[in-house]
Amino acid sequence: MLGYGEALKLVLERAVPLAPRRVPLMEALGLAAAEDILAREPVPPFTNSAMDGFALRAADAGPGRLPVAGTVPAGMAEVPALGPGEALRIMTGAPVPAGADVILPLEHVRVEGDWVILPEAPRRGANIRLQGEDIPAGGRVVPAGAVLRPAEVGVLAAIGCPEVPVRPRPRVAVITTGNELVDAGDRPGPGQIRDANIHSLCAQVLAAGGVPLPRPRVEDRRETVARALLGALGEADVVLTNGGISVGDFDYIKAVLEDNGAERVFWKVAQKPGSPLGLWVLGGKLIFGIPGNPVAAMLMFEEYVRPAVRRMMGYRNLHRPARAGVLEEGWTRSGDARRTEFLRVVAGPGGRVALAGPQGSGILSGMMRANALAVIPEGPMALEAGAEVLLHLLDEAEDH
Ligand SMILES: Nc1nc2c(c(=O)[nH]1)N[C@H]1C(S)=C(S)[C@@H](COP(=O)(O)OP(=O)(O)OC[C@H]3O[C@@H](n4cnc5c(N)ncnc54)[C@H](O)[C@@H]3O)O[C@H]1N2
Ligand code: MOO
């Protein structure tokens, strides 16, 4: 059977960055630039005052006084030149008048009527912000692939880039399946449970940067499943089906996909939980068949779908931070030693790792307690307390 590493590799080969699109700057946060972005204009666009105060010639300044010839507010278009032996009152952000080469802050002078009384001679250039000192014209401000954080968004606004070429957010349809499911707001009847996975999976899509498209829930009937799948493929870049992927009498996802021409990339992975995970491609779109058990559903999203979504968004860093931890308690594998196991754990200070409670694939509350997954490779049947394990840290975003 396919191993975890091979399955992940196949997923990432198929998940290619989405075609670039221009989005308004207000929507660009968190997206990756699709091309290098250059500054066409310098920032600041003109030399201006860094202080409220007086503009003058350093040569005129020294202990003494100068007549104040006028005031230069921020936003003034036609700024008077500074005559020799004069001062101009000036506000922060106002263009520096021709002839001036220093600004004295208000607090450093005394004003007497139309005169400004100066202290000792100031340093030439003080409190003047030069044109282009922040960003010179023609320079590359954001390289292709960089993720736009609030600072990049601000810089793009400053250079006059109201629309940004980015990789868009993938639209990820989520279809839960099962006759036993009712809405979160409904009271389950006999044999019924609430549909937890539509919520956890859509929340994971959103948290990963995608756009969740929750689709109407589907009962375990072939025609209904087929209609739901084709409908979702019409709207989304990626489709997640949930449940109905194993070997039960009413598990129709595989058959429906393949009857409709979907190419099977893989089905079943040597891992626990999540062994019935599958990936198909239809019309260039990825369809993940995600197992129904609530923990398996979340873990399969975390380990496979999330990196795929990030790759489609043009991110370079696809995976959560990983580090080594040390098991505080022993662990014994139940079942096949040829599987990778993902344990829900709490990673504490000093790399100490405790199990986040019972490890059943239906123990969804364990996902709340866990802040990491311990990834146990195939092989050992048991690990003793003190064994080193690889952790995928769930609460720490890699960010970019
Ligand atoms: N004979 C075998 N039986 C099973 C195998 C197997 O290999 N041979 N694999 C088991 C594993 S592992 C898993 S995981 C499940 C996966 O099955 P399906 O993907 O077909 O999921 P369902 O049977 O539809 O549901 C499984 C379980 O999860 C509950 N569920 C489903 N959807 C939701 C939802 N939206 N919200 C909350 N809970 C949900 C469902 O009620 C079932 O209890 O198959 C095993 N069986
Ligand atoms: O994937 Mo199943 O959830 O191992 O239990």
* CATH code, domain carrying 222: 3.40.980.10
| CB of residue 308 inside a 6 A radius of ligand 1 | no
- Exposed e or buried b per residue across 374-384, where buried means at least 16 C-beta atoms within 10 angstroms of its C-beta: bbbeeeeeebe
**398: in domain:** no
3-state secondary structure at position 154:
helix
Average pLDDT for residues 95-110, to the nearest whole number?
97
Average pLDDT for residues 271-285, to the nearest whole number?
97
Q: How far is CA 364 from the centre of its chain?
A: 25
| Same domain? 119 vs 234 | no
Nearest CA to ligand 1 atom 24: 243
Listed range (125-134, 245-254, 383-392) with the worst mean pLDDT:
245-254
Average pLDDT for residues 235-240, to the nearest whole number?
98
| Same domain? 152 vs 259 | no
Asked if residues 12 and 311 have their Cβ atoms less than 8 Å apart, the reply is: yes
Check residue 262 and give its pLDDT. 97
- 63 is written with which tokens? 């202990």
pLDDT digits (tens, 9 = 90+) for 148-175: 999 999 999 999 999 999 999 999 999 9
pLDDT of 399 higher than 70 = no
| CB of residue 195 inside a 6 A radius of ligand 1 | yes
Range of the domain at 331: 322-393
Q: Which residue has the higher pLDDT, 61 or 242?
A: 242
Q: What is the 229 CA–ligand 1 centroid distance (Å)?
A: 19
Query: ipTM more than 0.90?
Result: yes
Q: Is 191 exposed, middle or buried (0-12, 13-18, 19+ CB in 10 A)?
A: exposed
| Same domain? 92 vs 57 | yes
Asked if residues 287 and 280 have their Cβ atoms less than 8 Å apart, the reply is: yes
Tell me, what CATH number does 36's domain have? 3.90.105.10
| Same domain? 27 vs 160 | yes
pLDDT digits (tens, 9 = 90+) for 47-60: 999 999 999 999 99
Check residue 396 and give its pLDDT. 83
Over its C-alpha atoms, the chain yields an Rg (Å, rounded) of 31
Question: Confidence class of residue 248 from pLDDT cuts 50, 70 and 90?
Answer: confident
Amino acid sitting at position 382 = A
Tell which atom from ligand 1 comes closest to the C-alpha of 178: 24
The percent of residues in the chain predicted with pLDDT above 70, rounded, is 100
pLDDT of 115 higher than 80 = yes
The percent of residues in the chain predicted with pLDDT above 90, rounded, is 94
Question: Confidence class of residue 121 from pLDDT cuts 50, 70 and 90?
Answer: confident
**Mean pLDDT score across all residues of the chain:** 96
Question: Confidence class of residue 103 from pLDDT cuts 50, 70 and 90?
Answer: very high
> What pTM did the predictor assign?
0.93
| Same domain? 204 vs 291 | yes
pLDDT digits (tens, 9 = 90+) for 174-202: 999 999 999 999 999 999 999 999 999 99
Contacts of 194 (CB under 8 A, 6+ apart): 181, 182, 183, 184, 186, 188
* Structural domain count, the chain: 4
Asked if residues 340 and 374 have their Cβ atoms less than 8 Å apart, the reply is: no
| CB of residue 247 inside a 6 A radius of ligand 1 | yes
Question: Confidence class of residue 363 from pLDDT cuts 50, 70 and 90?
Answer: very high
**172: in domain:** yes
- 293 is written with which tokens? 């058990």
3-state secondary structure at position 253:
helix
Average pLDDT for residues 321-333, to the nearest whole number?
96
By most ligand atoms within 8 Å of CB, the mutation choice from 246, 290, 301, 359 for ligand 1 is: 246
Check residue 400 and give its pLDDT. 52
Nearest CA to ligand 1 atom 31: 292
By most ligand atoms within 8 Å of CB, the mutation choice from 181, 253, 293, 303 for ligand 1 is: 293
**117: in domain:** yes
Average pLDDT for residues 125-141, to the nearest whole number?
96
| Same domain? 173 vs 305 | yes
Tell me, what CATH number does 380's domain have? 2.40.340.10
Q: What is the 290 CA–ligand 2 centroid distance (Å)?
A: 10
Among 353, 399, 350, 349, which Cα is nearest to 372's? Answer: 353
| CB of residue 192 inside a 6 A radius of ligand 1 | no
Average pLDDT for residues 331-355, to the nearest whole number?
95
Residues with C-beta less than 6 Å from any ligand 2 atom: 272-275, 291, 293, 296, 361
